[in-house]
Chain A
Amino acid sequence: MPEIKDGYLYATEKPGWGIEIDTKAAAKYPFGSNERGGERGKLNGGWGEIRKADGQIIKQ
């Protein structure tokens, strides 16, 4: 992980982005497997809706 110390973020000194990805670990969490329920689940991960008291949708 990038280091945050005293509120400062320090850059990697490794080549490129300095990261590697554990694809086996990533494969354990397919989309939808680990999400909180409710609106987002029904929307396949999408943004939900918020309305004013009278029922009007607002941008959010």
Chain B
Amino acid sequence: MNRRKLMQMAMGALPATMLTQRHLAAQTQADRAVRGLSSPIIKDVQVIATAPAGLRLVVVKVVTDQDGLYGYGCGTYTQRADLVVAAVERYLKPFLIGQKADRIDDLWQAMYNSSYWRNGPVLNNGISGVDQALWDIKGRMAGMPVYQLLGGKVREAADCYGHASGADAAECVANAKKYIAEGFRHVRVQVGVPGMAGYGSGRGEARVKSLHNKPVFEPAAYIRRALNLFEVCRKELPEEIELLHDVHERITPTQALQFSKDCEKFRLFFLEDPLSPEDIAWFRLIRQACTTPIAMGELFNSPHEWSPLIAERLIDYIRVHVSQAGGLTPCRKMAIMGEHFGRRVAHRSCGERGAGPGELQLWRAGIFAVQRARSRGIQRRAGDQRRLPVCNREAGLGH
């Protein structure tokens, strides 16, 4: 006689009333624990498209059949914002109406597969808007912040950097000192190159000679300027201050290799996006050549891009834009993967300007900051360059 049959016999032998009472008590307890809520059903999906600080934000609102239960998610892709609106309204909304809002992972998989061709930035942002709204709904149902649903806090707060830029090294250092005075331990330093369109800093009045009238940039001049900036920063700033820098692609793979080696002596916290996504195979050479910590991921949309870099331990910080990756659901899995391979997470802010506390949050807290930036961006002044970033020193969720 197997165990199941034995159990059935034993159950059958119990007085019926006793069993019923026990069941009733358990059911009552369970109802109390979930506040009597059954699975909320998605009733409507709305898109809020707004550009309060000149930055095009897309927020998705998922409304359920339960009174007052809804959630917000971020689907911001500023450069193709109109298309995200269409992706949500014309493709995801008809599919989502009538679905159970509490089956987040299942809905994510269904949305992800529903276009057949996947991992594109427009569709990922649409999915992200819905996905994050579903996490918001679950948090509201539970009466908990999202980070609690992910396992709870693993640190008290998330360390952030200030983005300190300047037309020259002196101005950048002066701005870095302001952040340090505010209590920041990390600054991302960017310096302009006279006459050129550098990233994250001013360019000055005159422009360098060129055969066209578009913004102009020459990698070699930028590299010389950046190395000089690091030297000045190491002289002028307290030694315990962590320096970050964003290359933002722009240079050739061999230049990136040499630059990463030359940065080694300045002990950067991380060097960000030294390569374009098309050139990620070169990370193997950078890794072998020097110990400069590498961050990468702003332009990533696909697990085919980040998974090999994490699994081969070719980067130190995975730095995707949460909505570009498809929302909290894939980023949660990415962070867990990072933890297994000893890689760390330093998500990017959704807004390049103004959105401020964009994201980071995520890992200490759940993703909430992303939307926060989006929605509250309305109240933020443009040009506030504080970014959240930083990093989990220990990888994984909650970092």
Contact = CB atoms under 8 A, between A and B. Distances in A.
Interface of A: 1-2, 4-23, 25-36, 43-55, 58-60
Nearest to B50: A26
B145 A7 contact: no
Nearest to B369: A2
A47 B51 CA distance: 16
A9 B143 contact: no
30 contacts: A1-B376, A2-B357, A5-B157, A5-B183, A6-B184, A7-B162, A8-B157, A8-B158, A11-B147, A12-B145, A12-B365, A15-B145, A16-B140, A17-B136, A17-B145, A18-B372, A19-B136, A21-B375, A23-B48, A26-B48, A29-B51, A31-B50, A31-B56, A34-B53, A45-B51, A45-B80, A53-B209, A53-B211, A60-B217, A60-B249
A33 B55 CA distance: 10
A15 B217 CA distance: 46
Nearest to A27: B50
Interface string B348-380: 000000001100110011111111100110111
Nearest to B376: A1
Contacts of A46: 79-80
B145 A16 contact: yes
A5 to B, nearest CB: 7
Interface residues of B, number: 82
B386 A34 contact: no
B364 A17 contact: no
Interface string B153-170: 100111111100000000
A29 to B, nearest CB: 5
B106 to A, nearest CB: 20
B393 interface: no
Given A19-B372, A46-B80, A4 B160 contact: yes
B137 A16 contact: yes
A16 B139 contact: yes
Contacts of B52: 25-26, 28-29, 34
Given A29-B378, A51-B212, A58 B54 contact: no
Contacts of A43: 79
Task: Please name the 5 residue pairs, one residue from A and one from B, whose CB atoms are nearest each other, closest first.
Answer: A11-B365, A6-B183, A16-B139, A17-B368, A8-B157
